[in-house]
Every structure is written in C-alpha cells, then in structure tokens.
Amino acid sequence: MQSSSTLQPLTRVRLSVDCMGGDHGPSVTLPACRQFLDTHPQAELRLVGLPAALAPAAQWPRCTLVEASEVVAMDDPVEVALRRKRDSSMRVAISQLKAAADGHIAADACVSAGNTGALMAVSRYVLKTFDGIDRPAIAALLPNARGGFTKVLDLGANVDCTAEHLLQFAVLGSALVSALDGVEEPAVGLLNIGEEQIKGNEVIKRAGELLRAAHAAGRLNFHGNVEGNDIFKGTTELVVCDGFVGNVLLKTSEGLASMMGQFIRQEFERNALTRLAALVALPVLRQFKSRVDHRRYSGGALLGLRGLVFKAHGASDAYAFERAMARAYDAARNRLLDRVHDRVRDTLAAAPATSAAVDAPPQAA
Amino acid sequence: MQSSSTLQPLTRVRLSVDCMGGDHGPSVTLPACRQFLDTHPQAELRLVGLPAALAPAAQWPRCTLVEASEVVAMDDPVEVALRRKRDSSMRVAISQLKAAADGHIAADACVSAGNTGALMAVSRYVLKTFDGIDRPAIAALLPNARGGFTKVLDLGANVDCTAEHLLQFAVLGSALVSALDGVEEPAVGLLNIGEEQIKGNEVIKRAGELLRAAHAAGRLNFHGNVEGNDIFKGTTELVVCDGFVGNVLLKTSEGLASMMGQFIRQEFERNALTRLAALVALPVLRQFKSRVDHRRYSGGALLGLRGLVFKAHGASDAYAFERAMARAYDAARNRLLDRVHDRVRDTLAAAPATSAAVDAPPQAA
C-alpha cells in the first residue's frame, strides 16, 4: 500500500444510507438524500429501508434502492438490534461496506441516525476492527475560535479506557483529520487537567508516555497535554480522552451553548425597546447562530472498523443529516479507511515494542 | 449540636483575607475589601499581608491588620508553600480559622486568590479534614437556565476518586447548597453518561449504590444520574463528579463561553452596518454579558476541612474578589461549617454500615 500522503482521492464515492434510522426516519433522511445528490454530482447512493418508505426515491438519479424488512427502534436494546433484527435497515446499510463473494464492496461509507449503542455493536459485529484496535471509538467535530473544527474522541463508546486505548484514539483521530482537513500530521492533544507531564491520573500519565514514545518514533505529532478550554481555542487539531470524559464534555458543551442562546433570546425579549433592538440586530444574530449551529457538526465518525460508518444525531433534521452525509462523502473520497489502515499498521504495530521498552524488565538473552 | 435546619445565622461574621494572593495581590484585594466593607456593614475583616502592602488600610473601619513576612507565589510548588514559607500571608490567613490557646478562633472564613494547589495543601495541613472525609474537595457555582446556580464538585482536587469519595462530595455539597440557598435537602445528581442505573464505569455504578442507600436512609436527596447538559439546565441543585471530570467540564465551559463571546463580537464588528446594529443592541448585549460574567461566580469553596476556606480565581479583578468574599460571608453567616459537621456526622458515620450491607459477605453469628 502506498503512503497515506500520496493516496489519490476516489473519483467515485458510494454511500449507503440507513433511511429508517433516527427520530424521524424517511421524512428526514429522504429530503436530505435529495439535497445531497444535488450538491454532490459525483456521488452514488444506496438507500436502505422498507420498500414502501423508499418508494418516493424510485426514480431518483444515481440511487439504488436496497430493501430491508426490519427497523431498529431508537430505544431497542443492543441485543435486539444485534440478534433479533438481522434484516434491519441499519444492518443491511452497514453490510454494504463488507466485501461480497466477488471481493467487491457495494458502498464506501455508511450513514445512519440510528441509536448509537446499536450502531456501534452492529458495525463492530459486521465489519470487525482493524488488528491493533481493541474497540471502535466515536469522533466528533467541535467548532473552535480559529474558525475550524477540533476533532475529539472518544465521545462515549469506551467508558473505561487504558493508556493503550488513548494511543489508539490518537492514531485513529490523526487519520480522520488528515482525510477531512488535508493536514497530514495533525497536532494531538491529550486531555488533562494541566499542561505539566506530572498532572492527571495514572492512566493519563501512562498514555502521555506512550504518546511521547510514538512522537519520538515519528509516528504521531504529539503536542502534549491540553485542557478543556483548548478544545474551543483550537490549540491542537485533535484531542483524545476517554469516552466517559468525552461524553460529559460534549453534553456539557451542548447544555451551555443552549443556555447561552436562551439567555440572549430572553434579553432581547425583555421589553418593547429590546425587541426593537432585536429587529436591528437580527441579521447579525442569525449569522452568529449559524456559526454555533450544532447541526453543522452533529454526529460523528465510528473509527477503528474495517469500514467507514458515520453517525448522524438521532434528532437530526434534513440539514443536519445532509451535513453528516457530506462529511462521510469527504472522508470516503479522501480515503479515510486506507489512512486508518496505514496508520494503525505503522504506529500500533510498533506499539508493543514501545510499550515493552517502557515497561518490561530486561529479558534473558 | 442542634439540627442544621434550626441553626441560627451568625450575627457577627469575621473574614480573614490573604491580601497578597492572586495574580494582582493588594492592588486587587484591597479595593475589593473596601467595597465589601461598604456593602456588608456587619462584617469584620482581618487583612493579612506584608506590612507595607497593608498600610493603605490602616485606618479602615472594622479591619484588623495581621502581619505576614512571606508571600506564596502563583507558581510556587506545593512543597515550598507548605515547608519553606511558614509565615506566608496564605498560611497566616488560614491559621485565623484555627482555635487559639484560649479556644477561640479569630475568623469565621478565609478568602484567598492564591495558587490552588498550595491553598489546598496548606489548608489541609493547618485545619485538617473532618472525620469521615478523606480529602477536601473544591465546589463551584455554574449558572443555570433556571436563573440560579448549580453547585458542582469536585473540580480538580481529587483526580482519582472512589465511590466513597463521591458520596462524601454529595454530603459536603448538600451542606453548601443549604447554607448558600437555604434549600435544606437539595437534589443531588451523579454525573454520568446516561440516566439509566446501568450506565457508567464501575466507580460510578458503585457510587450510585451508595447514594441510593443514603437516600433510602433519609440522609440525602439523591435524584439519580444526570448528564453534562443537566448542569446548565439546573436539573439538580448539586452535581457530583470526580475531580478529573469536574476540572475538564469547568475548563471546557470556560472555553466555550469565551469562544461564543468572541463570535458575537466578531459578527457585530463585521462591517459598518453590523457596528450600527451593535450600538442599538449594546444595552441588551451588556445585560447578557453580565448574566454570563464568570466573575460573578468565580472561584470556589474548599469543603471537608475544619474551617471555611474560599478560593477566588487567581486572575480575579476587584469585582470578582469581592464576590468571592461575599460568598464566604454568606456561607459563614449561614453556618456552613456546622452544617458540614452535622451532615458528615449523620451521613458518613452511617456509611461504613451501609457499605457493609451492600458489600460484605454474611458474618458468622
């Protein structure tokens, strides 16, 4: 395989779409697909769902309808999605990423707004992880003050992480940044409670050692520890943390942004004068709102699997779902899967040796 | 000791102030003290610092000057503050809370903007923790959509927490809410990544068990699991989490709020038209800014010690420092220390038994 930096973009990108997933199902996913087709003239879609639900798309260009007989509900337990609904739209959509008997795959990436636990479990079961990756992780984009997006993972797939997991996240996330932003060696920050190496709990300190070793070996661009505010400053392109912390910080951010929006509305609605001011300020406030609109960066990428799965927010509207599709398209076009494969092979294949050098006692000759 | 709910407020409240602490020292703390004296006619202050620095306050009413010969720098290691600078303004200010040979204390609460690690270590060394409390915790107030403040702890003092620590935080925090807000049985939320009992890592699940047991015994008002966004919704008056997660969520929130403020400014400064809109919207924007002004709730309370220590933000200006003093005053006036003592005695004295009931194998009769 050639080096990631010389990988040529795909000329033909095929997405499989779980049209039944999310809080709103086809009433959101189909308009999103329609919009996506208009803005992506080179894309091809495999629309997966119940035949009746897909009927409106029967004549759409560059679309193939793929039937499924079941739907994973948003509150279905993982076991139900995994064992009982074997012909769900979610599973069939994911299966498009798996090589068929002829060795070919039907789609380059899959998008679903279905329930996260089920999507993670079914993806893992159907696709498996790369060698060297214990569990897939969820990465998302958070806007930063530099005008870009900081990639953060893991956001909830792994609540108990080892230092090795955090190293894996750094490798997976670096591949994501390179595919989405074209930055080949993105700076990686380790989320901690201070910049000094001595800060943090034991897992974090050990993860710092692994990341420094990978950096020294030229496998990663490790910046060092970062703190919570660095995510929104954009200090590093990538921030890694365990899934518990990542989930808390994501939801805390959503809650704070929503409260601040509410405060702004309340202040402008206070009386006749402030409502007048709101009229004048409206275009500016709209512009501000669109900059912090979470729909622009909702959802995330499931990384570490032998196939590209993108998760849109369960509550996505058509705009948010289309944005998730666009991100999946960009990632597939820029060969995220090959990039992940290369980096996992180059970095994590070297990891056991690194780890041994740090930890293991000298062995008898 | 009487029950917390019948505790009478102190009629005379004495604060000791570390006038040398913080990024700006006396140039900030003295104007803050002056302002505080004007708005708190019943308060008495013990101003601690280098004699020359305190000179301007020599004739102030209700003030006693207390000399110290050293200053803990913001970047002094904990060891230096603890072992080498034994006559620092920080240590002398904290020592005012300790009973003298005659059994009396010189101050009811202490306020410092000095470095957190040093303040924590010196406070712990000088004051000791209550029986049943392993380590002090830092609590802070975050604004919520209900117009109040959610109290959150721990915010960084304890990076590796056990389930028992989280129970201790719930007890300490409940006392804080009752003293500051007059809510005798505040709802306690356990920060987690989902509302269901089965969510979270092992420590969190076990903490949930301990909290449910304390709730069942009538010792605490445990609401259940909460998520990051619940802090800003104000779902519960109190949220407990380990110090790593708490520190990350605090700094993440600061970073996001600051980025959103920057985005608003940028949008209003975009061109002549938007600058005109800004003029009209200015009073409203100012009102909004004051609602999210972190100076109003900067700093935090060190809880679990046998004395009330309040930490102002190192970068505090006079307004922020005065707010921290006002909070320390309210807490002391409403007898936070007695409340903590009562709750620790009532709840944590019962904890070993509770813990045994959950965990220990049946014993031979």
CA distance A158 to chain B (A): 9
Shortest distance, CA B285 to any CA of chain A (angstroms): 8
Residue type, A124: R
Q: Are B68 and B20 in contact (CB under 8 A)?
A: yes
pLDDT tops 80 at residue A32: yes
Q: Name the residue of chain B whose CA is nearest to A280's CA.
A: B277
CB within 8 Å: B193 and A243: yes
- A165, A244, B255 from A236: Cα distances, Å: 19, 21, 14
Which pair of structure tokens corresponds to residue B123?
A: 């406070």
Determine the pLDDT at residue B295.
72
Structure tokens at A256: 């704070």
If we measure between CA atoms, which residue out of A122, A31, A124 comes closest to residue A68?
A: A122
Token pair for residue A179? 């595919």
Q: Find the mean pLDDT for residues A264-280.
A: 85
Say if CB A249 and CB B248 are below 8 A apart: yes
Q: Measured between alpha carbons, how far is A274 from A286 in angstroms, rounded to an integer?
A: 16
- pLDDT tens, N- to C-terminus, chain B (365 residues): 445 557 899 999 999 999 999 999 999 999 999 999 999 999 999 999 999 999 999 999 999 999 999 999 998 999 999 999 999 999 999 999 999 889 899 999 999 999 888 999 999 999 999 999 988 999 999 999 998 999 999 998 888 899 999 999 999 999 999 999 999 999 999 999 887 777 788 899 999 999 999 999 999 999 999 999 999 999 999 999 999 999 999 999 988 888 888 888 888 888 888 888 888 888 888 888 777 777 766 669 999 999 999 999 888 999 999 999 999 999 999 999 999 999 999 888 755 443 333 333 334 33
Contacts of A303 (CB under 8 A, 6+ apart): A136, A137, A138, A139, A153, A172, A173, A175, A176, A340
Taking CB atoms and an 8 Å limit, are A232 and B276 in contact across chains? no
Q: What is the pLDDT of residue A62?
A: 97
Closest Cα to residue A141, out of A253, A65, A33? A253
Residues sharing a CB contact under 8 Å with residue B73, sequence separation 6 or more, in sequence order: B115
C-beta of residue A133 within 8 angstroms of C-beta of residue A123: no
Q: Residue B229: which of A202, A251, A292 has the nearest Cβ? A: A251
CA distance B262 to B258: 6
Q: ipTM of this model?
A: 0.84
Q: Which chain B residues are closer than 8 Å to A145 by Cβ?
A: 258-259, 262-263
C-beta neighbour count of B79 within 10 angstroms: 10
CATH dotted code for B143-295:
3.40.718.10
Structure tokens at B207: 């903490």
Helix (H, G, I), strand (E, B) or coil at A223: strand
pLDDT greater than 80 at residue A291: no
Q: pLDDT (tens digit, 9 = 90+) per residue, B52-70?
A: 999 999 999 999 999 999 9
The answer for residues whose C-beta is within 8 angstroms of residue B188's C-beta and 6 or more apart is B170, B173, B174, B211, B220, B221, B222, B223, B236, B237, B238, B239, B240
Inter-chain contacts counted by CB atoms under 8 A, chains A and B: 173
Q: Residue type at A216?
A: A
pLDDT tier for residue A160 given thresholds of 50, 70 and 90:
confident
- Give the distance from CA B4 to its chain's centroid: 20
- Alpha-carbon gap: A22 to the closest alpha carbon of chain B (Å): 18
CA distance A260 to B144: 9
DSSP letter assigned to residue B303? E
Q: What is the pLDDT of residue B5?
A: 57
What's the half-sphere exposure (Cβ side, CA atoms, 13 Å) at B110? 32
Q: How far is CA A67 from the centre of its chain?
A: 26
Tokens (6 digits) for A193:
């409670």
Q: Which fold has domain B10-133+304-334?
A: Isopropylmalate Dehydrogenase (3.40.718)
Q: What pLDDT is recorded for position B360?
A: 35
Domain limits, chain A: 11-133+304-333
B18, B25 in Cβ contact below 8 A? no
pLDDT for A265 = 85
| pLDDT tens per residue across span A86-140 | 999 999 999 999 998 898 999 999 999 998 889 999 999 999 999 999 889 999 9
| Percent of all residues in chain A with a pLDDT value above 70, rounded to a whole number | 93
CA A262/CA A277 separation, integer angstroms: 17
Identify the residue among B248, B265, B276, B291 best suited for mutation to test binding to A, counting A beta carbons within 10 A and taking the highest: B248
Nearest partner of B263 among A238, A283, A290, judged by Cα: A290
Contact B231 A244 (CB under 8 A): no
Hey, what amino acid is at A324?
A
Question: Are the C-beta atoms of residues A303 and A141 closer than 8 Å to each other?
Answer: no
Q: Which of A227, A247, A291 sits opposite B193 (nearest CB)?
A: A247
Output the six-digit token pair for A122: 């079914």
Q: Is the pLDDT of residue A363 over 90?
A: no
Comparing CB atoms, the residue among A244, A254, A291 nearest residue B193 is A244
Is the CA virtual torsion A235, A237, A240, A246 positive or negative? positive
**Terminus-to-terminus CA distance in chain B, angstroms?**
36
Residues in chain B with CB shorter than 8 Å from the CB of A314 are none
Report the pLDDT value the prediction gives residue B297, as an integer from 0 to 100.
Answer: 67
Handedness of CA B229, B232, B237, B240 (dihedral sign): positive
Domain range A11-133+304-333, its CATH number among 3.40.718.10, 3.30.930.10, 3.50.50.60, 3.30.70.2500: 3.40.718.10
Mean pLDDT, chain A, whole residue set: 89
pLDDT, position B362: 38
Strand-pairing partners, residue B189, are: B224, B239
